[in-house]
């Protein structure tokens, strides 16, 4: 609002320097799960950074992954108000991330289980979770 007209549809290529996590959560709150992919080496990574952890390039762009993944490891966190899982999940695109597998009993989550990403709107903000394939609501 300082006289310089910002182009609404312009690509936000420079936004990566402003904080990759900010860019990530901004997309998530729009119900979009996006991760960076490197234009130089073609690999994805997560958690988002401004420099490719594989080759050091800054030529990153944001893409929507398939959301498919498999459980690499799972831990059940026991709480009085309900147990939940903390899992390491391997995305089909390669990156490994930490999340929860929901919609089934925590004890039923097992290594190698195919899962699908879903964004849950919680009071605290959007949360990326995973549900077992076949349990799509």
Exposure letters 35-68 (e unless 16+ CB within 10 A, then b): bbbbeeeebbbbebeebbeeeeeeebebeebebb
Query: Which residue stretch of 30-38, 72-80, 84-92, 128-136 sits at the interface with Zn ion (rule: CB under 5 A)?
Result: 30-38
Residues 73-132 that bind Zn ion (CB under 5 A): none
Task: Tell whether residue 54 is a contact of Zn ion (CB under 5 A).
Answer: yes
Structure tokens at 100: 């929860």
Task: Tell whether residue 63 is a contact of Zn ion (CB under 5 A).
Answer: no
The C-alpha atoms of residue 37 and residue 60 are separated, in whole angstroms, by 6
Cis amide prior to 53 (ω within 30 degrees): no
Task: Tell whether residue 49 is a contact of Zn ion (CB under 5 A).
Answer: no
The C-alpha atoms of residue 67 and residue 7 are separated, in whole angstroms, by 31
Residues, the chain, total? 137
Structure tokens at 14: 């420079």
Task: Tell whether residue 52 is a contact of Zn ion (CB under 5 A).
Answer: yes
Contact residue for Zn ion among 12, 13, 41, 133 (CB under 5 A): 41
Q: Which is nearer to Zn ion, 56 or 125 (CB)?
A: 56
Task: Tell whether residue 38 is a contact of Zn ion (CB under 5 A).
Answer: yes
Contact residue for Zn ion among 17, 29, 31, 57 (CB under 5 A): 57
Query: Which residue stretch of 1-9, 34-42, 81-89, 121-129 sits at the interface with Zn ion (rule: CB under 5 A)?
Result: 34-42
Residues that bind Zn ion in the complex, under the rule CB under 5 A: 38, 40-41, 52, 54-55, 57
């Amino acid at each position: 609002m300082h006289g310089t007209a910002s182009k609404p549809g312009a690509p936000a290529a420079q936004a990566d320097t402003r904080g990759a996590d900010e860019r990530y959560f901004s997309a998530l709150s729009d119900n979009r799960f996006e991760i960076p992919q490197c234009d130089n080496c073609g690999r994805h990574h997560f958690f988002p950074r401004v420099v490719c952890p594989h080759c050091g390039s800054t030529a990153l762009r944001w893409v929507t992954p398939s959301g498919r993944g498999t459980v690499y490891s799972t831990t059940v966190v026991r709480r009085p108000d309900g147990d939940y899982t903390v899992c390491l999940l391997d995305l089909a695109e390669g990156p490994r991330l930490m999340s929860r597998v929901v919609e089934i009993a925590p004890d039923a989550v097992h290594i190698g289980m195919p899962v699908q990403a879903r964004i849950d709107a919680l009071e605290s903000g959007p949360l990326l979770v995973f549900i077992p394939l076949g349990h799509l609501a």
